[in-house]
Amino acid sequence: MTLQTILVDIDRRGVATLTLNRPDVHNAFDDKMIVAITGHLKKLDGDPDVRVVVLRGSGKSFSAGADLNWMKRTTQYSYQENLADANDLADMLWTLNRLSKPTMAVVQGAAYGGGVGLVATCDIVVASEQAKFRLSEARLGIMASVISPYVLAAIGESQARRYTL
C-alpha cells in the first residue's frame, strides 16, 4: 500500500482541506510532492463549489520544507534539471499565492525553510502555541531564493533580514 502524500477533502460548506501527508519526514516535500500540490491547488481553484482552501500538515509538524534526501539527489542533477525543479517550486508557491479563493495555513509544530514559504503565501495563518518557524537555509549553506519574495512580502524587509541572517 502506497501512502498518499497529499490528502484533499472538501466538506459540504465548500471548505477544501489540503493536508501534507508525510509525517515520518515532518511533511518535507520533494519534486513529486511539489507537482502534486500544484496540481491539487489548480483543481481546487477551478472548482466553483470550493469557497476556501485550508493547508495543513499531518502529524506533529506543518512542514520541514524541502526533503533533504531530495536535495542530496539534486546535487547530481544537470543545470537544466535543477532549473526545472526550481521552476516547479516557484510555480507551486505562485499558484498558492495567487489562488482566487481565500487560503489559510494551520500550523502546528515545525514550519521550516520551504514550509515557511508555504505559510507566507497564504492569506491567513493560524498557528498553535507549539508552532516554530525557521528560515533554515543559511545553516545549510543555500539561498532561500524561491521563497524569499513571499517571506519578504509577509513579514517585511527588516524582519526578513533578521530571520535569514
Cα 114 off chain centre by: 6
Catalytic sites, residue numbers: 137
CA–CA separation, 70 vs 81, rounded Å?
13
Where do the structural domains in the chain lie, given as residue ranges?
A: 6-164
Q: Which pLDDT does position 2 carry in this prediction? A: 57
Neighbours of 10 (CB within 10 A): 16
CA–CA separation, 162 vs 103, rounded Å?
26
Domain 6-164: homologous superfamily in CATH: 2-enoyl-CoA Hydratase; Chain A, domain 1 (3.90.226.10)
Note if the pTM is more than 0.85: yes
pLDDT tens digits along 7-25: 999 999 999 999 999 999 9
pLDDT tens digits along 36-79: 999 999 999 999 999 999 999 999 999 999 898 988 898 899 99
CA–CA separation, 29 vs 20, rounded Å?
8
Given a cut of 90, whether residue 33 has pLDDT beyond it is yes
SS3 per residue for 117-136: HHHHCCCEEEECCCCEEECC
pLDDT tens digits along 89-134: 999 999 999 999 999 999 999 999 999 999 999 999 999 999 999 8
